[in-house]
Chains A and B, each alone.
Chain A
Amino acid sequence: AQTVTQSQPEMSVQEAETVTLSCTYDTSENNYYLFWYKQPPSRQMILVIRQEAYKQQNATENRFSVNFQKAAKSFSLKISDSQLGDTAMYFCAFMIDSNTGKLIFGQGTTLQVKP
């Protein structure tokens, strides 16, 4: 069975500093997609960044970047220059079947950015 594990229930960081959120997953598949979603108090899930497993280069979106270690099945999210608006719940998600788009989510990490 495919699973996603986020081992950090809560994290905090000072404004302008860098923080890394961890995610590991389990699959026997070779081709899949990985995602990080942000869920603010409004509850709307917002896509932060995505990584396709066949791409070796780590994805980057402005202040957000990932460290994708395929052999270790690890997919961490680094947030640089943290801003107060980054305060939210962050979910790592995994998709093995691109024909359906079914996402499997981790348990989430609550991130608080402190002024």
Chain B
Amino acid sequence: EAGVAQSPRYKIIEKRQSVAFWCNPISGHATLYWYQQILGQGPKLLIQFQNNGVVDDSQLPKDRFSAERLKGVDSTLKIQPAKLEDSAVYLCASSLESRWGSNTEAFFGQGTRLTVV
């Protein structure tokens, strides 16, 4: 089966510009996660969707970050305006459902590496 697809793989922008990332989860997966991974750190959850509804966005900087998951499939994450500290890898992941059992697993995409200069 196809994995989680993300684009673009790399993006370089100047501070104060805007940028958008796209994620296509595994077909049939109801839950979608966006994680931010700053260089040298572990990923940190930004936002989680269950179908097209937001489950957790407590760590999303809402003054500049926004995300949507229209129709409960693809998702986009936007930053406007970008700051230097937004330089990171943005990982998208999906799982079949939000409630985890013994065999539930989150599948990750290859991420988008954002550099803000």
The residues of A with any CB-CB pair to B shorter than 8 Å are 4, 33, 42-47, 52, 91, 93, 95, 98-103, 105-108
Contacts and interface: CB of A to CB of B under 8 A. Distances in A.
A44 B48 contact: no
Given A101-B33, A105-B43, A44 B55 contact: no
A16 to B, nearest CB: 29
Contacts of B102: 52
Q: How large is the interface on B (under 10, 10 to 19, 20 to 34, 35 or more residues)?
A: 20 to 34
B60 interface: no
Contact of A102 (B41, B48, B99, B113): B48
B111 to A, nearest CB: 4
Given A101-B98, A107-B41, 8 more contacts: A44-B3, A44-B110, A45-B43, A98-B99, A99-B98, A101-B95, A102-B56, A103-B43
Contacts of A52: 102
14 contacts: A33-B100, A43-B89, A43-B110, A44-B3, A44-B111, A45-B108, A47-B105, A93-B42, A98-B99, A100-B55, A100-B56, A101-B48, A105-B44, A107-B42
B77 interface: no
B106 interface: yes
Interface of B is mostly: loop
B89 A108 contact: no
Contact of B110 (A42, A47, A102, A108): A42
B42 A101 contact: no
A101 to B, nearest CB: 5
A107 B40 contact: yes
Interface string B74-117: 00000000000000010101010011111011101111010000
